[in-house]
Structure 1
């Protein structure tokens, strides 16, 4: 059997899929990147090179996987579709690649244990740093990124992912803009986030209905330390943004409503130099950190819920 090419063009994929009786599955968010130069852009943005450990989710037919392996990286790949799993195994035969045929998520709020076990094994006793580099299926992008970002034990040193442009714009949105929301605050409080490239639908097959973006997310440990209780920070940001059309004074008076009054809210906000007439989207990330810490100091016994991924309708 001839070795499958690393550079998988649309014509090559069409022929291969027809030969194997396969077709792209919309339910799994399968849109294959067919602009060959953009695979290089993703790998270069992630600075993938010799000695790197890379987690890739949504491997597809293995084009990006093969490219990263060729650049000297060890790749732990995850592919849910059995047909794509077999194609990726053939494309990466002989390379330093391990592919898991599982769903990367065990539900909305947790990474699949089999993926975590394989990642721990690859990282070894020294807890080797790793990168997430992937053309992510749109339907898992937010929960996967957030689950990796908030867990100190499995947080990657860098994420370079292809996601919906709309989601990328929300992640990078500045305060006081229409796209700024809970997701913007939570990610920017933990990482440097930037859009590296906008991708039109024409560079994928099948063509999605929306534009995409290559996004770089680099966690900043010092920011994580500054937040303190991350679950509490997460809870307050999400609760306030659930009522983003209400002013800060009104929304905060409903948080732990049995434990303080609007007059108490006024006193606290004044002590922090915050205007209670502002809406949630007006606050800068450092102001959110100051506010959530002050609330935690006021109610040190208030139990936060488990951290959850930010839903689209949370905002």
Structure 2
């Protein structure tokens, strides 16, 4: 682990400074780094993903425990710094680039590295990271949808993102991320963080949140890609009535003509608004839509 002074020295030696545009706020409270690692309960056969390792402070701790640590760092300068700091760990792989090739897709090199690691190790796939604020939600969502699925996530995120992860229907923070987490597992915020534990200090509070994937819950969804389409269709118009949202259907969903019958079969009132529906109700709609599409 690295103190604030050590992080500052590493950046100064590399001739760089924290980049606000990349959401670079380094976690400098060593007790909190320890807490995050302990919460993850990393074993020697586990694979850890870290997006935004920065100077490698957290990575140093996860690499002591995991079978493999796969880091993705967008900042080329920081990637060089971290690689040098982590030179003593043969189990660390550094990928230089964006963790998201597109908002809806994980970096192909990252997917390939995870796939290879899973052929060698039979433990869990864990996301353990102080996530960049501007990419946190998309990264976590993609690790729920696939093609590679994280067994659990232990992350530091902006407080707003943390609220979205654990939000309930009808709340202002309820959205696509919370629906997916509720539908496929359980999310729990276990620590609030003030700006002072980061350098430089962000303008908002943060939170440490865990998400544990539940294959049995996720298995209720007949088609995960279709589930994403259904949730996206309705939550894009979260304050309209369900029956009014369907006119915006595109792609596969455009083929559905009997939305009223689907709502009725799912025992959902078409006058409700998308922000009022629970994850289970979105699952019911998706599975009925899947049946309808299969019959066409």
Task: Show the 5 A alignment for 1:116-135.
Answer: 116-124=111-119, 128-135=123-130
For the Cα contact (< 8 Å) 1:49–1:68, is it kept in 2?
Answer: no
Gaps of 5+ in 1: 1-5, 303-315
Q: Per-residue deviation at 1:75? A: 1.5
Of the two, which has the highest radius of gyration?
A: 1
Check conservation: 2:60, 2:86, Cα contact below 8 A: yes
TM-score, normalised with respect to structure 1: 0.85
Counterpart residue number, 1:193: 187
**Greater CA drift, 192-201 or 270-279:** 270-279
User: 1:30-45, aligned counterparts within 5 Å?
Assistant: 30-45=24-39
Is the alpha carbon distance of 1:291 and 1:103 closer, same or farther for their aligned partners in structure 2, counting shifts above 3 Å? Answer: closer
CA distances 1:256-293 after superposition (whole Å, capped 9, x unpaired): 67864xxx554543443322221112112112211222
Correspondent of 1:75 among 48, 51, 69: 69
The separation in 2 between residues aligned to 1:248 and 1:46, in whole angstroms, is 39
Q: Secondary structure at the match of 1:213?
A: strand
- What is the SS of the residue equivalent to 1:300? helix
| Counterpart for residue 142 of structure 2 | 147
The answer to whether residue 165 in structure 2 is matched with residue 165 in structure 1 is no
Against the structure 1 CA distance between its residues 301 and 206, is the aligned structure 2 distance closer, same or farther, given a 3 Å change threshold?
farther
Contact 1:248 1:277 in 2 (8 A): yes
Alpha-carbon spacing, 1:25–1:226, altered in 2? closer, same or farther (3 Å): same
User: Which residue is 1:62 aligned to?
Assistant: 56
Cα-to-partner distance string for 1:111-138 (whole Å, 9 max, x where unaligned): 2222222222222266653211111111
Contact 1:58 1:136 in 2 (8 A): yes
- Would the alpha carbon gap of residues 268 and 117 (structure 1) be closer, same or farther in structure 2, given more than 3 Å must change? closer
2:220 is matched with: 226
- How far did residue 14 of structure 1 move? 2.0
Of 244-253 and 212-221, deviating more is 244-253
The total of aligned residue pairs comes to 292
- Give yes or no for the alignment of 1:287 onto 2:281: yes
Work out the CA distance in 2 between the residues paired with 1:219 and 1:65.
23
Q: 1:244 to 1:93 in 2, by over 3 A?
A: same
**Structure 2 match to 1:205:** 199
Q: Which runs of 5+ in 2 are unaligned?
A: none
The residue that corresponds to 1:308 in the other structure is none
Cα root mean square deviation, aligned: 2.2
Compute the displacement of 1:94 (Å).
1.5
